[in-house]
Structure 1
Amino acid sequence: MTEELTTIGFDADDTLWHNERFFQLTQAHFAELLADHANRDHLMERLLAAEKRNIRHYGYGIKGFVLSMIETAIEVTEDRVPASVIRQLVEAGQEMLAHPIELLPHARDAIENVTGMYRVILITKGDLIDQERKLAQSGLGDLFDGVEIVSEKTSDTYRAIFESHGDGPAAAMMVGNSMRSDVVAPIQAGCWGVYVPHGLVWEVEHAEAPVESPRFRELRDLGDLADLIHSLK
């Protein structure tokens, strides 16, 4: 290492607790509700396009997802979507927002193993209220030295966070399940980028693994994080 590692950032959704599976379950219900108006593949293409288009308006998270579903339903039915369908989509979003948090394997241990030896920061993007709710319910909040809920994860975002909370990006590591947001962007900022596959990944977060970067690492799960950090000393 060119600099001693002093700061570790953790992603939240689908790194520390389950998230994407609830979106996929809701999408399946959405497809059932609109089955008479569009086949599933076409509907999912339209929904994804709406989500991408609306990120700049609504940001990331459940609320923007629900609005994108409603918009797609209006489009595919040519403004004839029944009010009962809109109501069910709103209710589905409310259920997602109220769903209990379920930690992923090794999440607590991975954080506790580095707490005290490193500055530990939670770096997540999405709706502020929802992310604060999930963090509070997770029981992990007291383990972090800082929490950053951001609108987007870019290389500039990581530079600013690790300069504010740590000793700069060269002395920092980001751990997460999104190749685009949690690995590629931090490496571009000069950090270590550690990929922890989750299995379910929103298409918007796909990116090629930066395998040629000396600061890229991939783990089987969070249980291997302590050994990785030790190997870098």
Structure 2
Amino acid sequence: MAPIRAIGFDADDTLWHNERFFKLTEARFAELLRDYAAPDHLAERLLAAERRNLGRYGFGIKGFVLSMIETAMDVTDDRVPATVLRRIVEAGHDMLEHPIELLPSVQDTVADLHGRYTLILITKGDLLDQERKLAQSGLGDWFDGIEIVSDKTPDIYIRAFAPHGGARAGLMVGNSMKSDVLPMIAAGGIGVHVPHGQEWALEAAEPPKDEARFHALENLSALPDLVRHLGD
């Protein structure tokens, strides 16, 4: 493997909390629709709507809100009260305005690696929302490049790392096996999984077997030591 020159970081649930706000909003959604559907059934219908709508709306809060509205109409046979729809929209507003909370060790880890490697933030989702979160995080100045993409694929990683020695000289770290690890390995780089503890069902994937370019860490604070070890 080539020496590591660039490190890519996922944002949501790698640098700051994100999925917990979706879970809280899903619980709020279940309460709003409690007279029409059982929570488990509603969750299944919502997940199916999210899966259908990824190609239409992409990733992020706005698509999530539209999927909740669609699900509410479906489970009520289009009889959902306007007050419920308003509450769903308000829940989306709350998510878009929620302050950023960094995960443990993030600041120290990024500061440790800054200057020794090219650091790239590679995140998917709504452009305005991701820009807002990055600005509020205070981490923007630590990164040499920012990539906000509609999805994460091997081609995306090849393009993102191309100016920095290529994917084969790159490492991508994130909480999603499906989006952060597997496509980076397919692109020729190193994929590092740091689980968050809360995972969206559509991001679930099995880890690769017998793959030398795959590494798993319990938390982000272990990343600098791993990078140094890989450089030995």
Pairwise TM-score range, normalised by the shorter structure? over 0.9
What's the counterpart of residue 42 of structure 1? 41
Q: How does 1:171-190 map to 2 (within 5 A)?
A: 171-190=169-188
| Corresponding letter in the other structure for 1:228 | L
What's the counterpart of residue 223 of structure 2? 225
C-alpha deviation, 1:110, in angstroms: 1.1
What's the counterpart of residue 64 of structure 1? 63
User: Counterpart of 1:232 in 2: which secondary structure?
Assistant: helix
| Corresponding letter in the other structure for 1:124 | T
Q: Deviations over 1:13-34 (max 9, x none)?
A: 0000000000000000101111
| Corresponding letter in the other structure for 1:144 | F
What's the counterpart of residue 6 of structure 2? 7
- Percent of pairs identical after alignment? 62
Give distance in 2, aligned partners of 1:212 and 1:182.
18
Q: Deviations over 1:42-90 (max 9, x none)?
A: 1111100100111111110000000000000000000000000000000
Q: Deviations over 1:121-159 (max 9, x none)?
A: 000000000000000000000000000000000011101
What's the counterpart of residue 160 of structure 2? 161
User: Counterpart of 2:172 in 1: which secondary structure?
Assistant: strand
What's the counterpart of residue 137 of structure 2? 138
User: Counterpart of 2:36 in 1: which secondary structure?
Assistant: coil
2:132 equivalent to 1:129: no
C-alpha deviation, 1:211, in angstroms: 3.1
Give distance in 2, aligned partners of 1:43 and 1:212.
39
| Corresponding letter in the other structure for 1:21 | R
Structure 1 residue runs of 4 or more that deviate by more than 2 Å after TM superposition: none
Q: Deviations over 1:152-175 (max 9, x none)?
A: 0001110111113x1011100000
| Corresponding letter in the other structure for 1:191 | G
What's the counterpart of residue 201 of structure 2? 203
C-alpha deviation, 1:94, in angstroms: 0.2
Q: Which one is further off, 134-143 or 30-39?
A: 30-39
| Corresponding letter in the other structure for 1:151 | S
Give distance in 2, aligned partners of 1:218 and 1:211.
12
C-alpha deviation, 1:212, in angstroms: 1.4
TM value normalised by structure 1: 0.98
User: Counterpart of 2:30 in 1: which secondary structure?
Assistant: helix
